[in-house]
Amino acid sequence: MKFKIKKHKYPKDMDKCPSLVHLCDALNSMKGVKTVESCSGHSLNPTTVFFYCKDFESLARIQRSIDVRYTSCNTKWELGAVTTDVSPKKTPPIVFYIRSKEVYKTHSDITRDLEMIVLDLEYYHTPFFNRWFHDPRSCKKRTREDQKVFDEYMKRYDAIDQSYYQQVTLAKKG
């Protein structure tokens, strides 16, 4: 089953950063995940997304997408949790968050990293990782199809990087 990112409707006061909206769409498209608040940081604070998560497999995919050992982000991110005294009915009194450990200074920096996280979330829903999350030992060797998917994602990562470096170069010349 292919992971499909669906567009969601958000309150009018939601941060309008397109990459942040795309990340929230990706998170909200995951099993058992619902974002409740987000902020790009506006070049003053770390970028943060708060969410409920009822599915530990989804939580593991989120963690892996921001883990410094696997992510292509230029800035380090963390996954955390806070308890809450007020939560909607049928919602656990714990809210998870992902947060950049540094403040993004430019629009191109935040766009690049958020798009990398979204791409990582998509990649961690491929058949290889669907198998891996259920039995890591069964994935010691990639199939030909797994390798093909991996190569396609590498091209997409490279395209994001190429676009980012073009923006940075233009900004330096401008």
Query: How many Cα atoms are found within 13 Å in the side-chain-facing hemisphere of 53?
Result: 23
pTM beyond cutoff 0.75: yes
Tokens 């979330």 belong to residue: 121
- For residue 60, which of 171, 142, 136 has the smallest C-alpha distance? 136
The rounded distance, in Å, linking the Cα atoms of 45 and 89 is: 31
Is 4 a member of any domain? no
Handedness of CA 92, 131, 150, 75 (dihedral sign): positive
With contact defined as beta carbons under 8 Å apart, do 99 and 4 qualify?
A: no
- Per the structure, the count of domains in the chain is 1
Could you give the residue ranges of the DSSP H alpha helices within the chain? 18-28, 56-66, 107-123, 127-134, 144-173
Determine the Cα–Cα distance for residues 165 and 168; give it in Å rounded to an integer.
5
User: What pLDDT is recorded for position 89?
Assistant: 66
Other CB atoms within 10 A of residue 129 CB: 19
Q: What is the mean pLDDT of each run of 10 residues along the chain (174 residues)?
A: 85 86 96 93 93 92 91 87 74 86 90 93 89 79 86 90 83 74
Q: Is residue 3 part of a domain?
A: no
The verdict on residue 164 lying in a domain is yes
CA 52 to chain centre: 15
User: Is residue 10 in some structural domain?
Assistant: no
Asked whether residue 11 is assigned to any structural domain, the reply reads no
166 assigned to some structural domain: yes
The answer to the question of residue 8 being in a domain is: no
Residue 123 exposed, middle or buried by CB count within 10 Å (0-12, 13-18, 19+): buried
Mapping DSSP to helix (H, G, I), strand (E, B) and coil, where does residue 98 land?
Answer: strand
Fill in the amino acid letter for 53.
C
Residue 72: predicted pLDDT:
79
Does any domain span residue 2?
Answer: no
Domain around 107: 18-173
